[in-house]
Amino acid sequence: MTFKKQLIGLVLALILAPVLALAEEKNGTVASYDKASRMVTVKGKGWEQKAKVSSADAKDKLDLLKDGAKVKVEFDDRGGGDIRVKSISGR
Q: 65: domain CATH number?
A: 2.40.50.140
Pair 45, 53: CB distance under 8 Å: no
Strands in 1-91 per DSSP E: 25-34, 39-44, 47-52, 70-77, 83-90
**CA dist., res. 42 & res. 31, Å (int):** 6
Total domains in the chain come to 1
Report how far residue 56's alpha carbon sits from residue 85's, in angstroms, rounded to the nearest whole number: 11
Residues in the chain: 91
Query: Which tens digits make up the pLDDT trace of 19-32?
Result: 555 567 889 999 99
The answer to whether the pTM exceeds 0.75 is no
pLDDT tens digit sequence for 42-88: 999 999 999 999 998 888 888 889 999 999 999 888 888 888 999 99
pLDDT, greater one: 74 or 9:
74
What is the domain range of residue 60? 3-90
Return the bridge partners of 75, or none: 85
